[in-house]
Each structure stands twice: as structure tokens, then as C-alpha cells.
Amino acid sequence: MENFREHLTKSSKCGFFAAFTLVMAAFSANISANQTEQTLLLIGGALTTCSSLSPKNCIEKTSLIGKKANQFQLTGKALQEIKSQWPDDSTNNRNETLRVLSKIAKQQPNLIDKGSLLWAWRDLDSRSLNNLTDREYNFVTDMLEVAVVDAKGQRIKETVQSKQNNEPAANDIVNFISATAKVNSKQPSLLAITASSRDPYESADFYEGLLDFDRIKSSWLALTPALAQAITTGQCEKLAQFRQQNMQVFNRHKIYPDRIQAEQQLCDAGVDNLVAKIESATGIMLNGGDQSLTRKVLFDDTGKPYPWTDAIHSRPLLVGTSAGTAIQSGGSNQFGSVAMITNGTSLAALRDGAHAVSAPSERCEDDCNQGLSADTLTYQTNGGLGSFSAGIVDTHFSERNRTVRLATLLAKTGQQYGFGVDETTALVFIKSQQSTIVTVLGKHGVVHLNKGKDKYSFDYSFWPAGAIIDVTPQGYQLNQRTIDSALPAIKIPPLPKQRFNNILTDAKLRSLTQAMCLANEQSAVGQQDEFIVTLNASKNTQYQRISPSSYGCAIERLSVSITTIQ
């Protein structure tokens, strides 16, 4: 078996290899390739990838043949089917919908994209659109979608060209997936599970293309909530019914006939075949979307794991992005059960706390079910897959300023550690019998939170891409190799003595803490509405500039406290 370093060299460009020089030194010193038990690649989302649906992510002059957009058309036949197959007994919503759609059909008789359809609907009667339940809304849009086909009637797939990505950090992450799969197996294979999407069939092309590496067999696994129910109850003939009932997915046999056929074949082959298929895979990738949906293919309605859940949990390589990362929180540690975060903002967490209930609908704007708002912090007490049990993991972290929501959930559940992964960034855990190597790869960094004495205080650490982290009985801290490779400090003007406003919006908290690190500031104060956020360095705080990038300053244990203006 070729060693890990050789795989990295073959699959990477200079930026990737430079980012992992320290990692490989630590890896070679502690873990040989055949001793590795599992590698977790926890991506924070926004893995910007060049594809026919996202040409903005491609280098200039890249030309891709493939599906460019989903298409919709308001034909008389489609409107008649909506009328005759309406999914519930709300005749008022049905009639109002048909009234508005008939008007749009006259204005837009040709193929349109979903955005144009919804804008036209809002312009004519936004109330009727907002009044639809999620099931009704999904039914209508699914029924209006038409297949994207070529002149011969063959489905046109989304194509992916990762080598043409215009974001080097995304290439680093993708190359690491390929290298890790190859070091774990002489005949590596990868499976993509897209259950985080309401329409997992739509996402299949992208993830199959993303994992299309040289000398790796990759494919989409048709593990959907409908299949999970059908295959375990011996009712594969009811797959279409289960899609509508449990997934709120309609009309997919017309849009993705090949994916529906693959799902049917997988179901008909039985549970043992599905388990064996997963057990034979080197790695699995879990997609972004809604982690609560992926949980439906891991556990039944009673919370009991499905027969294949343990096989997924134990793969040598587990990759998740966004929801596919969040779903990996779970299991238990010395602090108790590890919860899975499902929704919420930092500001709502401060005002309303955390709630162990289902997340509100994505279409909810104000008052949602159970008295929740659209921004309410919600979580699943029993967690998700449980492959990551070191603490609660969160995604899109600094960009959506989720630090305080994670800190609130730590205080609520009693967990000591939180891990917040930034966009286009991956937290990597390489586990063996001897030790665990933790590092950060990508564009930005990972925020590590250490719970304080109360829910309004915690320690904040920032690990930039390239950092190696030691796992010790006392917790997590920068590896000495990372500290030794620190760059010389740079001189920047001291921060102005002011209160930084809107500190819990966008990525402002990350910007402030990075500025504190670079300027060696010992304290700063921010404000968000009625809340004051105070940051103080203590005797345990460390600042290390380990990368010349905008987010290359490592921070260890910066004390954060939150108070309310009286």
C-alpha cells in the first residue's frame, strides 16, 4: 500500500501540500496508514465547486456541457393534475393556487426557472403563496417541474469539474478526500448519501460528480427516507406512496427516472444487500441540506437505529458538508449525551434559549408551530449518527455568526466542548488505536468553544487552516509544531477604543477576534441590540500568527462574557 504522503503528493498542487506539511509530519510520527481506524472530514459548508449549475465557481473560460437549471412550465395538463391530485382537503388553497397559476401561465407560457416562477407568484398574490402548507408548496412546485432532456429525450445531468474550481481551498478539501480513500484501500470506493435534501434525487448528480476521482469507484446510494421505510417493512411496492407521505416529494419518476429506478432496485434487493453494499465502501459522503432529514435514514420513528446505521458509522472515511457534518454529532462522552443542533441564530438563542423540539419550517417567517420563531434555537437531544462525539459540532459558523448559539446549547445540554466549522473549511479527525490527530484544512478556520461557569460565559479559540490540535486529558490545544512554525508578528495599529456594533451579525465576531490577535489586544467590547459582548485575554490566552492569510491568527482561550443592558 502506498503511504499517505505519496497519495497527497500525487493528488495535490503546491497549495494543498504546503497546508499539510505539518499534518503529515505529525501523522508519520504517530500513525502509520494501516493503523488508521477512521478519518472524519467535517466540512462547514459552501464547498464551492465548479459545475454546470454553478459556473460562477469555475475558473475563467471553463465550458461545461450539462444541466444548467431546473425547468418549470405551467401547462394545461400540469394545472389539471394539480387540481385532481391536490395532496389534502384544503379546497380554498387549491382554488386560490389554480387561480394564480392560470394567470402566470398566460404571462409565462414557456419554460422558466423556479426563481422566476416564485417571483411571478409573489407579484400577483403573495398571500396565497404564504398560505400554502409545506406539503402543498412542495406538491405544486414538483408538479410544475419538467424534465431537462436532450433531443433524444435522454435526461441531461449536472456535470462537475472539480479540477476547474476557482477556489483553491475547495480543491484542497476535495483532494484530501481522494487521497484518504486511496490510502485506506487498494480498491477504494465511495458512496454519496443525499438524504439531507428534501429531493435527494436532484442532488445525486452533483455528489456523484464531486466524488468522481481517478482509481476510485464512486456512486450515489439511493438511501432515502422512503426507501428506509419500504425496505424494512417489506413494502417496496409502496415507494412512491412513501415519497409523498414522508418526504413531501412528488412526480420524481418523470424528472429523474434513472434515480427512481435505482431506488426501486436497491429496495427490491433487500436489507442484507444494502448493509453489505455500505460495508464494502471505503468511505461515505453525507450532503448538505437539513440534518433532520438525514436522521430519518439512520433511525426509525422510535429512535431505533436501522440495520445499516452501524455500517455507515464505522466506515474508514466519513465526509460531511454542512448538514452532513451536523448529523455526525451524537453518541456520548464524559459530559453526557451529545446533542445535534438543528436551527437557530445567536440572537434568538440569547433571547429565547434552546428548545429540544423539531426545527420550524424553512418557509416560516414569524410565528411558527409550537410558538417558535423562524430563528429559534432547536436541537435533537439524542444527537445524530454519533461518529463525532467529542462535542457538539456546528457549521457555516463564523460567516453566520453562530458562536453564541453554540455556546447556549453547550450550557443547556452540559456539554463542555463545541466545534464550529467555517465555510469552505474542514475539521479533520484522524483516529487510530494509538492516538487522534486533529487538524484544519481549507480557507478559514474552526472555532473551539469551552463552556464557562454559566450560559453567558465561555472560552473562544480559533484554529486557522493548517493548525494541528493536540487532544489531551485537559482538552484541546495547539500542537507545539504549529506554535513553532508561527510567523513573525506584524505591527498593526491598536484597535479603536469603542464598542463594536452589530457584533453578532455576519462574520463580525471573527473579524474582531482576528484583529485582537494580530494587534495583541487584551480586551474589546461589542454590542448587539440589548446585549454587550466582552472579550478579555487572560493568563491562559495565546495568540499565534501561523498563516499569512486574512484568517491565519490562532487564538487560544479568549474569555467571552455576555451581559444585558439594564
Q: What is the pLDDT of residues 165-218, one digit of tens each?
A: 999 999 999 999 999 999 989 999 999 999 999 999 999 999 999 999 999 999
Q: Is residue 65 in a domain? A: no
Indicate the DSSP class of residue 247.
I
Residue 366 in this model has a pLDDT that exceeds 80: no
pTM, whole model, 2 decimals? 0.95
What pLDDT does 152 receive? 96
Q: Is the domain of 334 the same as that of 396?
A: yes
Residues 50 and 75 in one domain: no
The cell for 347 is 440572537
Q: Are residues 52 and 79 in the same domain?
A: no
Same structural domain, 446 and 534: no
pLDDT value, residue 6: 46
Question: Are 432 and 543 found together in one domain?
Answer: no
Are 137 and 221 found together in one domain?
Answer: no
Q: Which of 93, 117, 146 is the last residue of a domain?
A: 146
Cell of 531: 446585549
- Burial of 505 per CB tally in 10 Å (0-12, 13-18, 19+): middle
More confident residue, 433 or 370: 433
The values of phi and psi at residue 269, to 5°, are: -75, -15
Same domain, 85 and 202: no
Q: Is the pLDDT of residue 31 over 90?
A: no
- Both 278 and 234 in one domain: the answer is yes
Residue 214 exposed, middle or buried by CB count within 10 Å (0-12, 13-18, 19+)? exposed
- Read off the pLDDT band of 35 (50, 70, 90): low
Measure the CA–CA gap between 51 and 64, rounded to whole angstroms.
7
Three cell numbers, residue 479: 500542537
| pLDDT confidence tier of residue 52, bands split at 50, 70 and 90 | very high
DSSP letter string over 148-194?
Answer: -B-TTSPBPPP-B-GGGBS-HHHHHHHHHHHHHHHHH-SS-EEEEE-
Cα separation, 310 vs 328, whole angstroms: 13
Q: Rounded to 5, what percent of the chain is helix, strand, coil?
A: 40, 25, 40
High-pLDDT (> 90) share of the chain, %:
87
d(CA 538, CA 322): 33
pLDDT in tens, 101-149: 999 999 999 999 999 999 999 999 999 999 999 999 999 999 999 999 9
Residues 205 and 277 reside in one and the same domain: yes
In the prediction, which pLDDT does 433 show? 83
Distance CA 506, CA 399 (A): 5
* pLDDT (average), residues 428-457: 93
487 within domain boundaries: no
- The three-state DSSP-derived secondary structure of 435-503 is CEEEEEEECCEEEEEEECCCCCEEEEEEEECCCEEEEECCEEEECHHHHHCCCCCCCCCCCCCCEEECC
262 located within any domain: yes
**Is 461 part of a structural domain of the chain?**
yes
User: Are the C-beta atoms of residues 288 and 45 closer than 8 Å to each other?
Assistant: yes
Q: Tell me which of 53-67, 108-122, 353-367 is least confident.
A: 353-367
Of 449, 478, 507, the one marking the end of a domain is 478
Q: Which residues pair with 189 in a beta bridge?
A: 217
User: Cell 428548545 maps to which residue?
Assistant: 355
CATH code for position 265: 3.40.50.880
Whether residue 486 has pLDDT greater than 80: yes
Range 358-384 burial, b when 16+ CB lie within 10 A, else e: ebbeeebeeebeeebbbbbbbbbebbb
pLDDT exceeds 70 at position 9: no
What is the tens place of the pLDDT at every residue in 394-417? 999 999 999 999 999 999 999 999
Query: What's the number of domains the chain is made of?
Result: 3
* CA–CA distance, 500 with 528 (Å, rounded to integer): 9
Contact 108, 74 (CB under 8 A): yes
Those residues with Cβ within 8 angstroms of residue 89's Cβ, 6 or more apart along the chain or in another chain:
none
The answer to whether residue 68 scores a pLDDT higher than 90 is: yes
pLDDT band at residue 23 under the 50/70/90 scheme = very low
Q: Is residue 20 part of a domain?
A: yes
Q: Are 398 and 527 within one domain?
A: no
Is residue 491 in some structural domain?
no
Per the CB < 8 A criterion, the answer to whether 546 and 481 are in contact is no
- Give pLDDT, residue 565: 94
157 located within any domain: no
Lowest mean pLDDT among 28-37, 44-53, 238-247: 28-37
Using pLDDT thresholds of 50, 70 and 90, give the confidence band for residue 100. very high
Q: Quick one: pLDDT at residue 36? A: 63
One domain for residues 457 and 310:
yes
**Which residue segment(s) compose the domain that 508 sits in?**
499-564
Does some domain include residue 463?
Answer: yes
pLDDT number for residue 15: 45
CA distance 523 to 59: 42
Q: 282 and 222 in one domain?
A: yes
Residue range 491-531, pLDDT digits in tens: 889 999 999 999 999 999 999 999 999 999 999 999 999 99
φ, ψ of residue 128 to 5 degrees: the values are -65, -35
Mean pLDDT (the chain) is 93
| Contact between residue 414 and residue 336 where contact means Cβ atoms under 8 Å apart | yes
Residue 30 has pLDDT above 50, yes or no: no
